[in-house]
Amino acid sequence: MLTIFSGTPWRRRSFHNIDFDRTKHLSPDSIHARQNKRNQLLIVAERRRVEARTIAEAARERLRLLEDSERKAVERREAEALAAEAERIAKRAAREESKRQIAIDRCKRIKEELLKKKISLEEYRRIVAIRKVEGIRLMTFLLAKIQVSN
């Protein structure tokens, strides 16, 4: 048992008797049990912190993966749009080339038709000229025959 003084020097002093550790609170077994309990609580708290950190890291990783997949989806859509635009431009160029080729073919066909018409006209004129020449020869022959018989 311990005796302590209470109060100030100018007051009346009172003596209190304090009886320590009746409940064996400071016994080595009790201290050891509390330390074990504290250690267990610290271990549980550390596990919870680790678990919370793991969950947070997993959430960050999921978010990163989601952002990556969204970024890749955006890049894929942009690439598809560029490919579609390139295909559209190529089709338009092919149509224009086809139209140009059709126009060239039409011009060639028209030139060939004109050349054929010109050739046939020349042939017709040649035939007409030959007929005229033959007509003139026949007339001169007949006139010569008539003059000889007269």
What is the tens place of the pLDDT at every residue in 49-65? 999 999 999 999 999 99
Phi, psi angle pair for 8, to nearest 5°: -110, 165
The residues, any chain, with a CB within 8 Å of residue 21's CB and separated by 6 or more, are 27
Q: For the chain, which residues score pLDDT lower than 70?
A: 1-25
Q: What is the pLDDT of residue 26?
A: 72
**CA gap 89, 100 in Å, rounded:** 16
Q: What DSSP state is assigned to residue 68? A: H
Under a CB-based contact definition with an 8 Å cutoff, are residues 6 and 14 in contact? yes
- Provide the percentage of residues in the chain whose pLDDT is more than 90: 73
Specify the pLDDT at position 35. Answer: 94
